[in-house]
Structure 1
Amino acid sequence: MARNSYSIGILLIGLAVVLLLGKLGFFHFVLSFFWPLVLLIPGLLFHFLFFNRTLPVGVLVPGGILTTYALMFFYCNVFGWGSMSYLWPGFILGVAVGLYELHLFDRGSDRGVLIGAMVLGIISAVCFGLTLLLHLGIYVIALILVLAGVAMIIRRRNVW
């Protein structure tokens, strides 16, 4: 009976600690920041199981997609969800990464997988470029104008 009450006492103390941590917001903080691990762990697990020769090469497609998305979501957790206005082409890039991994590690894959990965990668890169140009375009234009002005001043210095 004494051993039983000892176990119950430890269980009650553990329950009290969990309740206090919950009340202090510890679990809310941890879950709100580290929730992308729900995507990252299976993505990395797919890669691990493939390289251990446990699962077939096809698991690299969802593994690459999940890993890419998890990294994007971690970035947004750190730098704010307004970053998603720049990162949205990453959703296209995730599929391209998964397909490219399939092509890279499957000796029998046809050329269509590589072409699909490259097309999606190029579309993603173009979308990233256009997004950055639209959001940061005024700064790029201002930089070009300043560089052009400096070049004109340096080149025509002896005319003044």
Structure 2
Amino acid sequence: MANAKRVGLLFGIVFTILGVVLLTKLSANYFWSIFLILLGLLFEFGVLGRGAGSFVPAGILLVIGSVLLVCNIFGYDKMNYLWPAFVLAPGFGLFQAYLVKKSKGLLTASIVLIVLSAILFMATFFHVSWARVLFGIVLIIFGVVILVKSLRRKVE
């Protein structure tokens, strides 16, 4: 019965938003971005899933829906600056899952994605021409750390 209630809630929200879009003559593009945000909120508050695993799709949908809403309002030319948010989205969701489960793996994965996104945002916002070199150095350091850790595991 709970599953039927969740499906009914989802469809009720979708039809309500669609009705508001039609009555206010908003572009259908607004509907999809708002729909993604609301779907993310349903995951966030446990309507469409429970436990730490529901926070990953919640974070992804919230960030991507927000980026699309900003682009709908201010123009898709802003995507030139907002594209690193697609790297941030899973990092945000993984970090939320970490806050629930306290797993070191979730924290590591989220930090890597969030830091990578921050580097990409900085390179994009400031049009840093040396961003490729910086990103290359970060990848080399990351690769060396992985190699060293894997070599230590074989010895132990």
Question: 1:86-139: per-residue Cα shift (whole Å, max 9, x none)?
Answer: 0000000001100000001124x2x1110110011110000000011118xxxx
Corresponding position of 1:116: 109
Corresponding position of 2:75: 80
Does residue 97 of the first structure (1) align with residue 92 of the second (2)?
A: yes
Q: In the alignment, is the contact (CA less than 8 A) between 2:52 and 2:98 conserved in 1?
A: no
**Whose radius of gyration is greater, 1 or 2?**
1
Question: 1:35-57: per-residue Cα shift (whole Å, max 9, x none)?
Answer: 2122111100011117xxx6122
- Structure 1 unaligned runs (5+)? 1-24, 136-160
Output the CA distance in 1 between the equivalents of 2:52 and 2:95.
Answer: 12
Corresponding position of 2:56: 61
Output the CA distance in 2 between the equivalents of 1:116 and 1:128.
Answer: 18
Question: What is the 5 A alignment of 1:4-15?
Answer: none
Aligned residues: 107
Corresponding position of 2:35: 38
Corresponding position of 1:47: 44
Output the CA distance in 2 between the equivalents of 1:72 and 1:124.
Answer: 14
Output the CA distance in 2 between the equivalents of 1:66 and 1:40.
Answer: 6
The alignment's C-alpha RMSD in Å is 2.3
Q: Which runs of 4+ in 1 moved over 3 A?
A: 25-28
TM-score using structure 1 length: 0.61
- Structure 2 unaligned runs (5+)? 1-21, 129-156
Output the CA distance in 2 between the equivalents of 1:37 and 1:72.
Answer: 11
Q: CA deviation at 1:34?
A: 2.8
